[in-house]
Amino acid sequence: MPRRSTRDEILAVAAAQFAHVGFKGASLQEIAAEVGCSKATLLYHFAGKDAILAALIAPAARELAALDARLAGLDARAARAAAIEGFVDLVLRHRQEAGLIYSDAARFLQEPVFAHLRPLIENLCSALAGRSSDPADCIAAEVVLGGIAGVVIDKAGEDMRDALVAVAERALITPNDKD
């Protein structure tokens, strides 16, 4: 089996470090040492910890953008259903990345390198809320979004897709849905 590239090794070690000691607790020097390269070599591949994190979450971010595009043309009910299933599937596929972001989402989303994610998450929340502007519906959508991520991270390895979808649907029901 061929040896992974230095860049891939840095990403793997950084992901493990971020998961173990948190993003703030991880040190570029320690990541480089574990990879077996210098900090200068690490910085040749990545401008800093934010750049490493951005590279780690890039596949999930691309899927979030694709989900956003799918939701754009749907009516409120169809968008909510597609958003629930799409987000559950995304988080289940990208558990590790979700864990990295979920641990300090508010801070990460304020960083310029992650600015492109803010409108995607806002659109996802709007779809989960059934395109409602009612504050209660919007808060419910944010709670479901965070709850799905939190449950998936804490219960890794369990088959829970159907339960997550059912709970999200139940939590997001509105009076208009009973018509």
Q: Could you state, in order of their start, the residue ranges of all structural domains in the chain?
A: 1-46, 58-178
Residue 19 has what pLDDT? Answer: 82
Residue 92 has what pLDDT? Answer: 92
- AA letter at 54: A
Phi, psi (rounded to 5 degrees) for 114: -110, 10
> Topology of 1-46 in CATH?
Arc Repressor Mutant, subunit A (1.10.10)
Mean pLDDT by 10 residues, the chain (179 residues): 82 91 91 96 95 93 96 95 96 86 75 87 94 92 90 76 93 73
Residue 109 has what pLDDT? Answer: 78
Residue 27 has what pLDDT? Answer: 94
